[in-house]
Amino acid sequence: VMVESIAIMEYLMARHGPTTLAPAPRDPTFPAYQQFLHLGEAGLATLMMPVVVSRFVAPEAERENWGATWCLKSFQKRLKLVSQRLASSPYLAGEAFTAADISVTYALNLGQRNCGVILGDAEQAYLARTTGRDAYKRAMDRSHEGVGA
């Protein structure tokens, strides 16, 4: 049983690849790919979990707590890495969409939709590119098919 989303993606790509979603280790885009593949979950989405739990689960008096506030500030600092990268390329590993974009798109959507994170123009345009893809739309359609079933 695998529960870590990045591990699941890496497993599927290794098992069923090669794929354009994962540059080869000798590809010049590989370091950026690795950085952002893991940043999405470990450096961005994970920081949003205490915020989500505080806002939606914690008792009213505990919703605005030090830990959630710190996580939001840390998310904003790490978001600068994404912003800097997007200033020089349309996707996080360069010119091509990769699994790193899947990872970071999830984190940015989570922050924006559930945690009040305000994204800048570059990040909004990036999300429009990643979520406007036919594959993304199909995945969202499929994920909603199971809701309420």
In a domain, 136, yes or no: yes
Residues 51 and 115: beta-carbon distance below 8 Å: yes
Which residue reads 């690849």 in tokens?
17
Three-state DSSP state, 34: helix
Q: For the domain that residue 33 is a member of, what is the CATH number?
A: 1.20.1050.10
pLDDT tens digits, 23-74: 999 999 999 999 999 999 999 999 999 999 999 999 999 988 999 999 999 9
Which of 86, 79, 84 is CA-nearest to residue 115?
79
Q: Enter the tokens of residue 10.
A: 């890496």
In a domain, 11, yes or no: no
In a domain, 85, yes or no: yes
Which of 113, 40, 31, 36 is CA-nearest to residue 75?
40
User: What is the structure's pLDDT at 75?
Assistant: 97
> What residue numbers bound the domain in which 131 lies?
29-141
In a domain, 94, yes or no: yes
In a domain, 9, yes or no: no
pLDDT tens digits, 95-131: 999 999 999 999 999 999 999 999 999 999 999 999 9
148 has pLDDT over 70 = no
In a domain, 4, yes or no: no
The number of folded domains in the chain is 1
